[in-house]
A and B are shown apart, each in its own frame.
Chain A
């Protein structure tokens, strides 16, 4: 626990204002859920807000933290330490974002009258996988591009286009968001899920290889 506190404190210091960006976006998502989306009409907009505003920023801290390896002259010194703490880093940010996600879901539940009717199994399974997708996707892109700016630009351009067009952009890339209440046994949904899982696992393996875990 003390380790986590010290590591978060250092991240806050090294990232400066950028450290608060995901929390700010979480706040924006929270306000969107509280004041914008209507429970009666388009209740699924709540989940679109979570997917489009909060979850993409789950890559943020780790991208910044691991970008320290890209500073000229730093990799040889920091790499052994970062490898040693890799699982811990993933866990501490994974837990932090999961907690923030759960709070948003609770707010959606409370707003929906306290019932579980607003939640469906597919959405509840989709959101954590999407969180992992961004967590590992950010790192995978960082190791590929070796640039924080390029990594974040790719992630956010992709997300914005997907969300604005509600996944109908027609661009030849995967559509991983769910914009309508999912229907069980929908073949499109199965395809989406399979792709999302496979991509997330592939990116996690790529990152693990880059960090020399195997």
Chain B
């Protein structure tokens, strides 16, 4: 499923939260940008939770913002998981999902049961269904969030900072789950964590100050930093000064010295290396014009 967003704008008290944003969502789409860039606002507009000031949203060439409408048309195609998902803290996972199924209009008990079991199996929570929501870890709660979304059978899933605040094990499990879901759904992930985006996404959009600065594949993003990334060997005692003066993007410890990667728009007398996604992101955020190089 393909979602096209054209000239989307959101203004609050004369401040542009989103400014003429146009992007085409397909596959697993990563939305990255600094805090306050407008990622969550964009997600909430797509989920029908916030108004838009202008623009159009098309899903498979069908318009979902009618003329003069301030919200996206209510639909069951899009499911949104907020960053801190938590509902009915004192109720068990199964009962929460059962209630959500009722709210979705499923009256028949056997049908609800089947949907819940299927959703719990997908998110690997079948053994946790009798635990109360407030007894679950952050990652498990988010998986319950995904389960309740899946029961609606949406085609497009929106995840706001899905791995933020999770421990390493949960983060890996969650990332793998998103990858698995991406086989059958169009997914939009907003994240600060470039590694997650690199692992998951087939297409990336970078938002800063409400404007889309880049849209393309991970490879295209890396290319934006081509020629600006250097490799340097430094002694441990020289690292502090280097960190103060340069954008160090990676440090590897070797036996005798440290190997560092540096993003720099000024030419350095050091060997250039192939850029990584984080450096591509820095190039965009720093406004390096390397398009078509």
Contacts and interface: CB of A to CB of B under 8 A. Distances in A.
Interface string A176-200: 0000000000000000000000000
Interface in A1-58: 2-3, 6-7, 10, 13-14, 16
B161 to A, nearest CB: 12
A68 B87 contact: yes
Interface string B95-129: 10001101110010000000000000000000000
Interface string A51-85: 00000000000000000100111101111110011
A2 B112 CA distance: 13
A71 B102 contact: no
A71 B49 CA distance: 16
B102 A6 contact: yes
B189 to A, nearest CB: 16
Given A6-B102, A7-B102, A68 B88 contact: yes
Contacts, number: 56
B49 A76 contact: yes
A14 B99 CA distance: 11
A74 B86 contact: yes
Contact of B103 (A14, A74, A84, A212): A84
A10 B97 CA distance: 11
Contacts of A85: 103
Interface string B141-160: 00001001000000000000
Contacts of B107: 2-3, 6
Band of interface residues on A:
20 to 34
Contacts of A77: 80-82, 85, 87, 145, 148
B84 interface: yes
Interface in A124-178: none
Contacts of A6: 99, 102, 107
Interface in A76-105: 76-81, 84-85
A87 to B, nearest CB: 14
Nearest to B85: A73
Is chain A's binding surface mostly helix, strand, loop or mixed? Answer: helix
B148 A14 contact: no
Contacts of B81: 77
B253 interface: no
Interface in B49-89: 49, 71, 74, 80-89
Given A6-B107, A77-B148, A81-B103, A71 B47 contact: no
A10 B84 CA distance: 23
A81 B149 CA distance: 12
Is chain B's binding surface mostly helix, strand, loop or mixed? Answer: loop
B91 interface: yes
Give the interface centre of A14, A77, A78 by most chain B CB atoms within 10 Å.
A77
A77 to B, nearest CB: 6
A73 B161 CA distance: 13
B91 A13 contact: yes
Contact of B95 (A2, A13, A73): A13
B87 A10 contact: no
Contacts of B48: 80
A212 B80 CA distance: 18
Contact of B89 (A13, A71, A80): A71
Nearest to A69: B87
Contacts of B89: 71
A48 to B, nearest CB: 37
A73 B86 contact: yes
B102 A72 contact: no
A81 B80 contact: no
Contacts of A81: 100, 103-104
A66 B264 CA distance: 53
Nearest to A74: B87
A210 B86 CA distance: 21
A203 B288 CA distance: 54
Given A68-B87, A68-B88, A73-B86, A10 B95 contact: yes
15 contacts: A3-B107, A6-B99, A6-B107, A10-B99, A13-B95, A14-B90, A14-B91, A68-B88, A73-B82, A73-B84, A77-B82, A79-B49, A80-B48, A81-B104, A212-B71
Interface of A: 2-3, 6-7, 10, 13-14, 16, 68, 71-74, 76-81, 84-85, 212
Interface of B: 44, 47-49, 71, 74, 80-91, 95, 99-100, 102-104, 107, 145, 148
Given A14-B90, A73-B83, A76-B47, 12 more contacts: A3-B102, A10-B95, A14-B88, A68-B87, A71-B88, A71-B89, A72-B86, A76-B49, A76-B82, A77-B148, A81-B103, A212-B71
